[in-house]
Chain A
Amino acid sequence: MEVGRLPISASQRGKLIAAGYTTLSSFSSLSPSHLARDLKISDNEAAEIMRVASHSHRLDGSAAGCGTVNGAQTAWDMLHEEEMFPRITTSCMDLDNILGGGINCKEVTEIGGVPGIGKTQLGIQLAINVQIPVDYGGLGGKAIYIDTEGSFMVERALQIAEACIEDMSECGGLLRKDFQACQLKMHPNNILENIFYFRVCSYTEQIALINYLDKFISEHKDVKIVIVDSVTFHFRQDFDDMALRTRLLSGMALKLMKLAKDFSLAVVLLNQVTNKYIDGSFQLTLALGDSWSHSCTNRVILYWNGNERYAYIDKSPSLRSASAPYSVTSKGIRNSASNCKRIKMM
């Protein structure tokens, strides 16, 4: 057990460490007078320290001095866990590349952009791609789609689902896999069946729903992605108390992170943009303010670059900043068409 965790004063701690005693076991076998001489403190003080140390040791209950903190996980274990869950593909190779393979589970990813750039399209694509069976490199999971704006259109989801199944059959054919069995299971209706759709009409509903998700997901353990489209909408309309808004948003962010961690699922939050006056000019930034920008693990900004749509990794602990082009077609999100023959849509 570490000396740093002992409930003793900072000066006493400093003296212990300076004398070379960094763990409990290193001085627990000493006599108080020996300790007092080493630390140049009184006998009483040394006896007090040892009493506290043995008391804490008893509470801790761990006999070995390996220094594990309850509830912590070693980095090595985390690395192995990460490799267990494949990432959720976005169906666009360039985008997957900059994301390190796709959207990561156990993390909260925020995706923002101007209206019409394709946020809802990406959300629907992810809700469908999470259902790709494990045989085809997917997660075979279900999706929760929380719609705050009413922009989820079932016809479009059906279109994208059909295109996804087509792509999988082609892929299966190329690899000569036995896709017959999969084909029977993967009907567009099955895909739609696995998307749990929630419509929330106010910020109280939104917060109530996120609180309720804990229970919902424990009953539906195969949910692997939660998409909120968009997290901003209700917090931008008639909110007078900004301090309250910040509190609510950070509370919500913490709950979502806990959900992601506890159930090993991906959380994707779609955000809107706003104009901000920085350095003498207006710049585009994602909405909800500066404190919210800390709340998400990863942040992706979708923007127009000339005539093409691009995605930029704005913030991520493990991915480097990079841009990648993508396009929105009748089949959903796909690679940018500039590199290949143009396909007429519709």
Chain B
Amino acid sequence: MANKQISQMGLPKSIANVFAARNVFTAKALSLMELRVQNEHLAGHLPTHMKGLDEALCGGIPFGVLTELVGPAGIGKTQFCLKLSLLASLPASYGGLDGHVIYIDVESKFSSRRLIEIGVKSFPEIFHRKGMAQEMAGRIHVLRPASLSEFTESLQQIKISLLQNQVKLLVIDSMAALVTGEFEHGAPRQNTLGWHVSFIKSLAEFSRIPVVVTNQVRSQSRDEICHYYFQVQSWNETIEDRTRHDSHLVAALGINWAHAVTIRLVLEAKSDQRFIKVAKSPISPPLAFPFNITSSGILLLSDDGIELTGPDINAIHCQGHNDIINFGGESLQC
């Protein structure tokens, strides 16, 4: 960002501050709303075609903010991303953004065959037309950075394409994989992604596109059961908590990252049913929707979510979902 370059120039503080002050963006909240509702397509949201989720998110994945998908391996995060990429490339008449998509595929999970399959099953009228599949798939650009530094470089290029106004969605699958393996041990992982997070957020905001990032999970270590100093706990309770938490999963990338994302969607499996939960969102109540993965992507089993009170909305359960999904005779292990 411009400010980072100024700081790299080594200007004296006072001058850097003057530049920064000129950059300050100010608006009245009303004009913000008018601008977005009137000018933006679909009032600033990308509909996911999952009715319950779209209602909870006031229309869909919002523009200009970071949305995170977190869940255990194989739960359906990449499937969700594939569906979203497709939706963004669809023409406006079908509820899409009619634009290009940049898909950053760190773990080589992108499957174009699966993408076309989702397209054919969900929007048969478009995809059976000659050449449409090619055009839709042609709008999705897949990048495969091998390391964090390659990713950093590609971010700069992405900024340029965004300025040219063609890209309408950025998907990063997955963020955690970029950091794992970068450092062996002992290095401060918290700040590794610091610059990237700020950069991606500002990319999202000035180009007003949705940015979807997936995250992995890891088990919660004993040391991490955290409370404030004024929360008194009895000794027995602590022991009980510890055994309970041994099987609990938490999102990777730490608490810094958890603060940085605007919307967090938790995908989990509980009692043999998969759920997608709106865990953190300034505009939605804490709802959980049961879902299944089908040939046409993700299907919500109920559009009325279950409301979860308390911190349980943030918990990630992983019980018994390592089964093979069957549909139409074919089997696909996610």
* Interface, chain A (partner B; CB < 8 A): 114-116, 120-121, 124, 145, 149-159, 189, 192-202, 204-205, 207-209, 211-212, 230, 232-234, 236-239, 272-275, 278, 281-285, 301, 303-308, 312, 314, 321, 329-330, 344-346
Contacts and interface: CB of A to CB of B under 8 A. Distances in A.
Given A208-B21, A212-B24, A283-B227, 9 more contacts: A115-B258, A150-B65, A151-B282, A153-B282, A195-B28, A197-B27, A202-B20, A204-B7, A230-B259
A198 B24 contact: yes
A150 B201 contact: yes
Contacts of A346: 55-56, 285, 287
Contacts of B310: 304, 306-308
Nearest to B191: A238
B280 A115 contact: yes
Interface stretch (B30-38, B158-166, B177-185): B30-38
B262 interface: yes
Given A153-B62, A237-B194, A281-B223, A314 B230 contact: yes
28 contacts: A115-B258, A115-B259, A149-B262, A150-B66, A154-B29, A155-B58, A189-B30, A192-B29, A193-B28, A193-B30, A197-B26, A197-B32, A199-B24, A199-B25, A201-B202, A204-B17, A204-B19, A205-B23, A272-B259, A278-B229, A281-B223, A282-B223, A285-B228, A303-B231, A304-B310, A307-B311, A345-B307, A346-B285
Contact of A211 (B17, B27, B307): B17
B112 interface: no
Nearest to B261: A115
B4 interface: yes
Nearest to B198: A237
B279 A116 contact: yes
Interface of B: 1, 3-4, 6-7, 16-21, 23-30, 32-33, 36, 55-56, 58, 62, 64-66, 191, 194-195, 197-198, 201-202, 204-205, 223-231, 255-256, 258-262, 264, 279-280, 282-283, 285, 287, 307, 309-314
Contacts of B20: 202, 204-205, 207-208
A295 B313 CA distance: 33
B186 to A, nearest CB: 15
Contact of A149 (B23, B227, B260, B280): B260
